[in-house]
Each structure stands twice: as C-alpha cells, then as structure tokens.
A and B are shown apart, each in its own frame.
Chain A
Amino acid sequence: MSVRKPIYLDYSATTPVDQRVADKMIPYLTEHFGNPASRSHVFGWVAEKAVENAREQVAALVNADPKEIVWTSGATESNNLAIKGAANFYAGSKGKHIVTVTTEHKAVIDPVRELERQGFDATYLDPEPNGLVDLEKFKAALRPDTVLASVMLVNNEIGVIQDIEALGNLCRANGTMFHVDAAQATGKVDIDLEKLPVDLMSFSAHKTYGPKGIGALYVRRKPRVRLEAQMHGGGHERGFRSGTLPTHQIVGMGEAFHIAKEEMTLENARIKRLRDKLWAGLSEIEEVYLNGDLKQRVPHNLNVSFNFVEGESLIMAVKDIAVSSGSACTSASLEPSYVLRALGRSDELAHSSIRFSIGRYTTEEEIDYTIVLLKAKIGKLRELSPLWEMYQDGIDLNSVEWATH
C-alpha cells in the first residue's frame, strides 16, 4: 500500500494551503507588496484592488454584501470582536445577559467569561447527547435582557451542524443579537446570509485550505449592526478593526473561499463516501462509540471512542496518522474534552476518543490503511488493558470501587 506517511487526518485542526492559493499569494509578498492604505502610489492601489477583490470572493461564498466583510487576524479575533464588541455596544439599550453553549470553542467561551468578569450575566446551555441544541431549551434561556447569543454552526470536535436558522429566528423574536462561529463550516455546508437571521458570523481561512493568520467577521448592514471596536488605530475597515491589512494573506483567503464555492459540492460527496467507509471499518471493532449525531454532521468529521483504551496511548500507537484526541493527557490540564463531557459522555469514553477529520487530499488508500492500523493497534492496546480484561470477564466496571488518589 503506497501511502505517504504520516497520513494527515487532522483537517479540523488546520489544513494545508491549496497550491492554487499559495500561487496567488506569493506575488503579493514579493512584487505587489504595497500597503493597501497607501493612497499616494500605484503600489498601494494594486494592493488595495487585490484586497477588495478578495473581499468579494469571501462575500460570494456566504451570499453577503462585500461591505459586510471585515478582515481580522483569524476566527479567534473575529469571535472576540463580535462578542465583546456587540455586548459592550448594546449593553446599555438591551441588557447584560448572554446565552451560549457549553460545546463552543474556547475562542467564544473565554470572551464570554471575560464579559462575566466585567459584570455581564451568562447562561451556558448543555446540548442534547447527540450534540445538538434543543430549541425549546434555547428559547427558555432567552430573557428580556439577553443582548447576545452565540452558537457555532459546525462543532470542531464532533462536527455536528446546529439549526442556525431556527435559533436565529428565536433570537430575532426576542430582540437578541445572534453571533455564529462558522470557522469549521466554510466549504463544508452551504451558508446563505441573505436567508439566515444572523447578525455576526466569524470566518477562518486556515480551516478552508487558506493561510493562517487571517479571518473575517460578517457584520450585517440590513438591519445595521454596530460594534465597539477592539483594535484601535488608523481606522482601517471602516473603524471596525485598525491595523495594516496583510495583502498576501487576504488574497489567500479570497482565493481559498473562491475555490470552496466552486468545488464544495463535488468535494463533499467524495469526502462523505470516504468518511462513511472509515466509520464502517471502525465500527467492526468491538465496543466502539460514535460521538455526536451521524446525520446532522459535516461529511469530514468522525469522532469515535474506543472503550478500554486510553487516548494518548492510542495516538502514540498510531503515529503513522496525525489525529487528535479528547483525552486529558493531550490537553494541558488533566481533564478530558469538555465537549464530550457536555454530551454526557463518561470520563472514560472522553479519555478514549479520537477525532478523525478528513479533507481535500485524503485518498481511499489512506482510509483503508487507517482501518487496518486501528484494528491492529486497538487489539494490541486492549491486550495491555486491565479494563478490557475485566470487561471480558463480565465485570461491570461501574460497580468497581477504584483506589483513586
């Protein structure tokens, strides 16, 4: 089997830059290096034209007006700008309560926590065991003083897709601003901001075969959304976000989003077939659990727990493939993935989880190799595992009294 190793199955962490994107970017590093804000010479004008062209490309993927796209240094900054910017601007008129979900990325949760420290009130909803937000519970959480709600379109760990349209309508009815982190969504699901009742949406380039260090924030103009800027200075991006625009990165993001628009449909069909093949192969292993809903899920993601095997030891065992784990050992703290915990998964299953995220360059051979590798390594690790031994002996592990520290 001729596969290039290591096999990259961690597309949700980051993606390689598409060669076509890199080719577009490089001239803007060397020849057309001007500062887009320089009005006085051709170097600046060429750069500015490229920036505006890229803005149209990003807007086209999500059916928005280019004037509604603000460049940032990445989705983390977009999230910070949206959440802090909107909450602070509208706190006086609407209120100081925020609603979000426990499975959000830290780049949403941490800004909300920061606002709590500054005197805001926040409600963190738990999703259902399949990862989806229950509409009734969401509606019940909205209060007269809820200024902002934030729900991600696609979850980075389990890939589930939230019903943004329904959630947005609930927010509209309550007079609450609605922010959506779409970093994992672009190029994977259709996004139509003319139809979706969304006020703010965050985008990242490096999850969609673009470069790192560049992202965007969609800021609705009809009706007009206002924000308190977080990065002050030269007044760039109509005052929303100051700082010299990095032309080459913006060109890269534009091209990446343009390619996504053209190729998304065909690409996703191929990826879904590969992902389903992977799941079919892995589910032949005993005591394997899928985390998150299979249907309401992007075609790239597979998050699986292998019972009785610990996550980090599994990642070590499969060093021919690059994946990520919800295990404690691979996070800085000793706690397992908070996303899997929020789904109601036990600590053990959260520890034993692997996230496979496939993408544009994943081949069928790589999938076949992965299935064979996993079967072999799971077998070997279960031989090592006292828990597997106990399970085979018919012992109910929940009934055991563990000698913990």
Chain B
Amino acid sequence: MAYSEKVLDHYENPRNVGSFNKDEKNVGTGMVGAPACGDVMKLQIKVGENGVIEDAKFKTYGCGSAIASSSLVTEWLKGKSLDEAMTIKNSDIAEELALPPVKIHCSVLAEDAIKAAIADLRQKQGQAGEADACDATCKS
C-alpha cells in the first residue's frame, strides 16, 4: 500500500526515540500490545513539578504506521498536562497521519499507550483511584 507523506516522514525521521530510567519517580511507562500481534509500543513520559509533561520518548516494534503513531504522540505530549494528555484520541492521530482503515488499530494502540503511561505514573505517585479507571480503558 502507499504510505502517506506524514507516515513516511515520521518513519524516516522518528522523533524522541529512546528510554528514560523507568524507576524514576517522575517517569511514567506504558507498554502495550504484544509481539504475537505484531505491535508493541513502549511510551514514556517525564513529568515536571507542575504536572506538565516535559519530555516523552518511545520505542516501537511494529509497522510503519505504528512507528509513526507513537512518534507523533511523543511530539503532541510535550507541554501538555496529564489531563490534557488523556484527551488525545486515536481518531486525531489517524486523521493527522491519514491512516487507511486497515491501519487504524495502530492509532488505537498509541492512545492506549498514552493512557498506560499516565496510569503508571499516577500509580507511582499514589493516585490509585485514577489508575483503576485507566486500567478499565486500557483493557478494552
């Protein structure tokens, strides 16, 4: 299939590839997907004192659309609060990258990764209630 310009761009020049130390208190790590499905995304966020996401990094095992979705998301997350980050929808990602129908699931996974990272962070920082709500979404 032909890939959109934006997908190719993120694929050739992925933004924010790498890892933070997942044990740090202000780092949230979301790992979603499974090798058996052909998609695994690891998304990490580093949050500042004011609850705003300072930095984000990703690593993805998956097709071009999956890599592009997670790369795009790391750009969008920087500068957002956790609540704002929770509002990022897979449809926004899919639209921005012009994903064809057969690749929409890559954007869904990216949305799940954000929520998983935030849940991880909140759990670390002791906000158990929020974490429960998030788990339900992640497992859908």
- Whether chain A touches chain B in the assembled complex (some CB pair under 8 Å): yes
B42 adjacent to A386 (CB under 8 Å): yes
> Chain A interface: which of B56-64, B74-82, B88-96, B121-129?
B56-64
A329 close to chain B: CB less than 8 A: yes
B61 adjacent to A308 (CB under 8 Å): yes
B67 adjacent to A384 (CB under 8 Å): yes
Q: Which of A356-405 contact B (CB under 8 A)?
A: 383-389, 397, 402-405
Q: Which A positions have Cβ atoms within 8 angstroms of B?
A: 308-313, 316, 327-329, 334, 336, 346-348, 351, 383-389, 397, 402-405
Per-position binary interface string of chain B over residues 8-46, scored 1 when its CB falls under 8 Å from any chain A CB and 0 otherwise? 000100100101000000000001111111111110000
Give the residue name and chain of the B residue nearest to A402 (CB): B34
B41 adjacent to A403 (CB under 8 Å): no
Q: How far is the CA of A394 from the CA of B126 in the complex (A)?
A: 30
A313 adjacent to B31 (CB under 8 Å): no
B131 close to chain A: CB less than 8 A: no
Q: How far is the CA of A33 from the CA of B6 in the complex (A)?
A: 50
A386 adjacent to B61 (CB under 8 Å): yes
Q: How far is the CA of A312 from the CA of B38 in the complex (A)?
A: 9
A386 adjacent to B40 (CB under 8 Å): yes
A385 adjacent to B38 (CB under 8 Å): no
Most A CB atoms within 10 A — which of B32, B40, B138? Answer: B40
Q: A327-B38, A386-B41, A404-B34 are in contact. Are A313 and B62 (CB under 8 A)?
A: yes
A384 adjacent to B40 (CB under 8 Å): no
B32 adjacent to A351 (CB under 8 Å): no
A328 adjacent to B32 (CB under 8 Å): no
Q: How far is the CA of A242 from the CA of B105 in the complex (A)?
A: 46
B34 adjacent to A313 (CB under 8 Å): no
A384 adjacent to B14 (CB under 8 Å): yes
**Residues on B with beta carbons closer than 8 Å to the beta carbon of A403:** 31-34, 112, 116, 138-139
B37 adjacent to A404 (CB under 8 Å): yes
A-B contact pairs, 27 of them (CB 8 A): A310-B39, A310-B61, A310-B63, A313-B66, A316-B64, A329-B63, A346-B35, A347-B38, A383-B17, A384-B61, A384-B67, A385-B60, A386-B59, A386-B60, A386-B61, A402-B31, A402-B34, A402-B35, A402-B40, A403-B31, A403-B139, A404-B33, A404-B34, A404-B36, A405-B105, A405-B109, A405-B112
Q: How far is the CA of A329 from the CA of B67 in the complex (A)?
A: 13
Say how far B112's CB is from chain A's closest CB, in angstroms.
8
Q: Which B positions have Cβ atoms within 8 angstroms of A?
A: 3, 11, 14, 17, 19, 31-42, 59-64, 66-67, 105, 108-109, 112, 116, 138-140
Partner of A387, one of B14, B61, B64, B108: B61
A312 adjacent to B63 (CB under 8 Å): yes
A387 adjacent to B40 (CB under 8 Å): yes
Q: How far is the CA of A308 from the CA of B14 in the complex (A)?
A: 18
Q: How far is the CA of A386 from the CA of B108 in the complex (A)?
A: 18
**Residues on B with beta carbons closer than 8 Å to the beta carbon of A389:** 19, 42, 59
Give the residue name and chain of the B residue nearest to A317 (CB): B11
Q: How far is the CA of A397 from the CA of B36 in the complex (A)?
A: 11
Partner of B17, one of A329, A384, A397, A405: A384
Say how far A335's CB is from chain B's closest CB, in angstroms.
9
**Residues on A with beta carbons closer than 8 Å to the beta carbon of B140:** 405
Q: A329-B38, A351-B38, A389-B19 are in contact. Are A402 and B33 (CB under 8 A)?
A: yes
Q: How far is the CA of A308 from the CA of B42 in the complex (A)?
A: 13
**Residues on A with beta carbons closer than 8 Å to the beta carbon of B66:** 310, 313
Which 10 residue pairs spanning A and B have beta carbons closest together? A402-B34, A386-B42, A312-B63, A348-B35, A347-B36, A386-B59, A329-B63, A351-B38, A404-B34, A316-B64
**Residues on A with beta carbons closer than 8 Å to the beta carbon of B39:** 310
B34 adjacent to A334 (CB under 8 Å): no
Q: How far is the CA of A383 from the CA of B19 in the complex (A)?
A: 10
Most A CB atoms within 10 A — which of B3, B64, B108? Answer: B64
Q: How far is the CA of A306 from the CA of B66 in the complex (A)?
A: 18
Q: A310-B63, A316-B3 are in contact. Are A334 and B138 (CB under 8 A)?
A: no
Say how far B121's CB is from chain A's closest CB, in angstroms.
16
Say how far B132's CB is from chain A's closest CB, in angstroms.
15
Q: How far is the CA of A127 from the CA of B70 in the complex (A)?
A: 39
Partner of A336, one of B38, B40, B63: B38
B3 adjacent to A385 (CB under 8 Å): no
Q: How far is the CA of A384 from the CA of B38 in the complex (A)?
A: 14
